[in-house]
Structure 1
Amino acid sequence: MMTFYNILILIHIISAIIGIGPGFVLTTIVKHAHTMTDIRFAFTVKRRLHHFIQVGGALLLLSGLLLGVITPSLFQQGWYLTSLVLYLLVLILGATLLRKISAPIRQMLADQTLTETPAYYHELRNRLLRVEYAVNALLLVIILLMVLKPF
């Protein structure tokens, strides 16, 4: 029989898969889109998957905090606090820098008269990918902290 704590851990793990997993794939989809048709499709897929990332990410944060409330000693563990701070940093980067960088790309995609990829798109895409790679690296560190609990 599973305890409430075990159920929360299961929810936390599933939330991590749903909330973090797609982010590692989205960069590849966008990176390999070159024509305007492909780019529009890539960003449509990205937007649709982002809903899963938002729900999974919110549930991930909520379940992680609930685990800490149930077991207050977690708030004294370095790996837990570091993971929490890094995750909050990821959320801030998503809400600020990633949104700011992707705004001109969204404007470009909204222009249905564009049939050829504008030259400036590649610079914007590369900036976006660099930040997304950094976010993915932070998420990988968080996963390693959760699994290894090194301190």
Structure 2
Amino acid sequence: MIKWEGREWRLQLMSTLYQVLVVIHIFSAILGMGPGFILMTVVKGSKTMTELRHSHAIRHSLHIFVMIGGTLLLITGLIMGSINLNLFKMGWYVTSLGLFLAALAMGPLVLSPRSKPIKALLHSHQGDDIPEEYNRLSKELFRYESLENIIFLIIIALMILKPF
């Protein structure tokens, strides 16, 4: 039987907790960010309004994974920072956190206002032809989603490389 003395058991417990958080953090990135990179692709091949509506329903289902994964990423990243306060002194961590918060803010501030007219159009449009208005609206939305994907790629690179 192992006898835990002094602070040693607490340090071991914190080390184990930290390792579990790292695993959750990595899986959250895969399950949350992975689908986020294909959200635009899902709808781009649609040729009819029926296909487009179905594609947007799939896109919505995938977005749920993105939201859950993103929330877990933020929570686990902040808990790891609270366990290892030195992370807040590392440029890659602080930059990643700032970029992640900026990308998170893009949802309600930039993406949602641009997706609402698309949702309304999908709901109200009669016929199976895709209106030109959809192409214009989606092009603008996808431009911002591409920017957000670039931000996430930068965050991933910072997490892997830890350059500063």
Alignment TM-score, normalising by the size of structure 1: 0.95
Q: Which whole-Å CA distance do the structure 2 matches of 1:34 and 1:108 have between them? A: 16
Of residues 41, 46, 65, the one that matches 2:59 is 46
Among candidates 129, 132, 143, match of residue 119 of structure 1: 132
Give 2:163's aligned residue.
Answer: 150
Could you tell me how far apart the structure 2 residues matched to 1:131 and 1:34 are? 23
CA distance in 2, matches of 1:115, 1:105: 15
Q: Partner residue of 1:71?
A: 84
Is 1:108 aligned with 2:121?
yes
**AA matched with 2:53:** R
Aligned to 2:40: 27
Q: Distance in 2 between matches of 1:34 and 1:131?
A: 23
TM-score by length of 2: 0.88
Q: Provide the secondary structure at the position in 2 that maps to 1:3.
A: helix
- Which residue in the other structure is 2:145 paired with? 132
In structure 1, distance between residues paired with 2:136 and 2:119: 14
| 2:7 alignment partner in structure 1 | none
Query: 2:4 matched to which residue of 1?
Result: none
Alignment pair present for 1:88 and 2:101: yes
Per the alignment, residue 74 of structure 2 pairs with: 61
Offset at residue 13 of structure 1 (A): 0.3
Aligned residue-pair number: 151
User: How much identity, in percent, do the aligned residues show?
Assistant: 44
Q: C-alpha displacement at 1:31, in angstroms?
A: 1.9
Matching of residue 17 in structure 1 with residue 17 in structure 2: no
Deviations 1:67-94 (A, max 9, x none): 0000000000000000000000111111
- Aligned-partner Cα distance in 2 for 1:102–1:134: 15
Which secondary structure does the structure 2 equivalent of 1:33 belong to?
Answer: coil
Deviation at 1:40, TM superposition (A): 0.5
Higher RCO by CA contacts (8 Å cutoff, separation 6 or greater): 1
Q: Deviations over 1:81-114 (max 9, x none)?
A: 0000000011111121110110100001112634
Structure 2 counterpart SS, 1:66: helix
Name the larger-Rg structure. Answer: 2
